[in-house]
Amino acid sequence: MNSYEGKLFHVVTYGCQMNVHESEKIRGILSTLGMLETEDINQAKVIVFNTCCIREGAEDRAYNNIIALKKAKSIDPSKVIVICGCMSQQKKGKYNLKTKLPFVDIILGTHNINSLKEHLLNFDKSHVRIIEILDSATSSMDTEKCIRDDKVNAYVNIIYGCDKFCTYCIVPHVRGREKSRDPKDIYKEVKDLVQNQGYKYITLLGQNVNSYGKDLKDKTSFAELLSYLCKIEGDFKIKFMTSHPMDFGDDMIKVMKTESKIAKFLHLPVQSGSSKVLARMNRHYDIKHYMKIIKKLKRAVPNISLSTDIIVGFPGETDKDYNQTIKLLNKVKYDQVFAFMYSKRTGTPAAEFTDQIEDDIKNTRVNRLLRLQKIIQKDQIKKYFNKTYDCLIQQVNGVAVGITDGGKEIYIPNYRYDNQNYFAKVKVDSIRNHKLSGVIVS
């Protein structure tokens, strides 16, 4: 018996899908201690902050929320506060968590969430503060249990870490070197999610999924892994993120074209429309190469939905470079764009570049870009007319809706949703007020 049994926990998550999934694992670990989850942070005995440091804003948000707990901890010292994730792994972060937050009981890095249970049990006995930041994982990152947020889409890790070292990015510094999971373990996990737990979408996760397998003995490629997972029987689809244009080869285009279980959706971060900026970012591709992939993809996979990440205001970005990014958006016509202002990350090469861009220029550039993308997206709606999409049938506000692989909703009037999740082909037959309607055709 430990003092956690029957008590409540609350997990606060910042950052990307990797972190969201890691928090699902943390919830699994806490439940194996006999704890229950609460939505109310004030009721929780154990509070875990799973942090992100990709940009300064993410760090500030986490830090301010953690500091706000100081009072609650002084009123009730039996609360256990844990920090894990990318912020705690940083060597030279903006905030020194170890010295600035003495009321935090346990600080873990990115390689050891699996030891959270053991540390909590030790802390329960000794009440001595625990700090464990490892340089690399010493044991598997798989956990015995995982409590997933979503009942339709399940995240599955396939590769940890990143070896790309883009000059702006902190990830390789806090997540370590690339480490692929065994394909058989991934297969087993996906099969269970699909066949026993009824998941309809499986999203394979990695900082760079296209690097999958390079470190494995048999060098299974990512395209091969996809084909292998598509052999699993069941009514489901596979998504994956994040892809890197440098490693996105013809084998990927082929597998996306031929395997019907792969969602017609791709998030392919371009970061900039200027080849000069891409070179300084150490992205290992130029715009010509990127556009070649997009062209081939659009030809091979009609109706594919595309999204991307853009950084504006990278050091040395001129008006000309920025306008090339704008030109790229007009050309590709993404369904969604995630645009970020460059944020200086201590310890990365770009932080040392002397031609940093002023914040107000970054601000103007990002706002103009987002305004343009909004117009493109509005205009894009026309392309759906008279086309048929393989959709997951769901109910939204009491109405049956088909959701495309890219997340677009197609209303299906006069159709009775029977609470089952299944895929069906939906043909768009009307567009009104930027809303799509259609009929089920199979």
Query: Can you give the binding site for ligand 5AD, defined by CB under 6 A?
Result: 54-55, 168-169, 269, 271, 309, 311, 340, 342-343, 345
- Looking at the Cβ atoms of 19 and 143, the one nearer to ligand 5AD is 19
As measured in angstroms, the least distance from the Cβ of 14 to ligand 5AD is 13
As measured in angstroms, the least distance from the Cβ of 312 to ligand SF4 is 15
The pair of three-digit structure tokens given for residue 331, joined into one six-digit string: 């050309």
- Looking at the Cβ atoms of 53 and 80, the one nearer to ligand SF4 is 53
Query: Burial of 64 by CB count in 10 Å (0-12 exposed, 13-18 middle, 19+ buried)?
Result: exposed
The pair of three-digit structure tokens given for residue 56, joined into one six-digit string: 């300064």
As measured in angstroms, the least distance from the Cβ of 53 to ligand 5AD is 9
Beta carbons within 8 Å of 344's beta carbon, 6+ residues apart: 56, 350, 351, 356
Q: Cα–Cα distance between 207 and 17 in angstroms, integer?
A: 10
Is residue 12 within 8 Å of residue 41, measured between CB atoms? yes
As measured in angstroms, the least distance from the Cβ of 407 to ligand 5AD is 18
As measured in angstroms, the least distance from the Cβ of 351 to ligand SF4 is 14
As measured in angstroms, the least distance from the Cβ of 313 to ligand SF4 is 16
- Looking at the Cβ atoms of 237 and 362, the one nearer to ligand SF4 is 362
As measured in angstroms, the least distance from the Cβ of 52 to ligand 5AD is 10
CB atoms within 10 A of CB 37: 13
- Regarding 47 and contact with ligand SF4 (CB under 6 A), the answer is no
Q: Cα–Cα distance between 188 and 39 in angstroms, integer?
A: 31
Q: Which of residues 210-249 bind ligand SF4 (CB under 6 A)?
A: 244
- Regarding 343 and contact with ligand SF4 (CB under 6 A), the answer is no
Is residue 442 within 8 Å of residue 424, measured between CB atoms? yes
The CA distances from residue 199 to 202, 229, 325, 374, in Å, are 7, 14, 37, 32
Of 340, 338, 337, nearest in space to 314 by CA: 340
**Contact partner, 160, from ligand SF4, ligand 5AD, none, Cβ < 5-8 Å per class:** none
As measured in angstroms, the least distance from the Cβ of 250 to ligand SF4 is 20
**Contact partner, 345, from ligand 5AD, ligand SF4, none, Cβ < 5-8 Å per class:** ligand 5AD
**Contact partner, 207, from ligand 5AD, ligand SF4, none, Cβ < 5-8 Å per class:** ligand SF4
**Contact partner, 343, from ligand 5AD, ligand SF4, none, Cβ < 5-8 Å per class:** ligand 5AD
As measured in angstroms, the least distance from the Cβ of 242 to ligand SF4 is 6
Q: Which residue from 93, 172, 206, 438 is in contact with ligand SF4, where contact means CB under 6 A?
A: 172
**Contact partner, 10, from ligand 5AD, ligand SF4, none, Cβ < 5-8 Å per class:** none
The pair of three-digit structure tokens given for residue 362, joined into one six-digit string: 């970054």
- Looking at the Cβ atoms of 265 and 342, the one nearer to ligand 5AD is 342
- Regarding 345 and contact with ligand SF4 (CB under 6 A), the answer is no
- Regarding 164 and contact with ligand SF4 (CB under 6 A), the answer is yes
Find the Cα–Cα–Cα–Cα dihedral 418, 419, 421, 425, rounded to 10°.
30
Instruction: Note if the bond before 220 is cis, omega within 30 degrees.
Output: no
Q: Which residue from 146, 171, 270, 287 is in contact with ligand SF4, where contact means CB under 6 A?
A: 171
Q: Which residue from 35, 159, 166, 190 is in contact with ligand SF4, where contact means CB under 6 A?
A: 166
- Residue 119 sits at φ, ψ, to 5 deg, of -65, -40
Segment 409-413 long-range contacts (CB within 8 Å, at least 24 positions apart): 409/435, 409/436, 410/384, 410/436, 410/437, 410/438, 411/435, 411/436, 411/437, 411/438, 412/437, 412/438, 412/439, 412/440, 413/437
Residues engaged in binding ligand SF4 (CB under 6 A): 162, 164-166, 169, 171-172, 207-208, 244
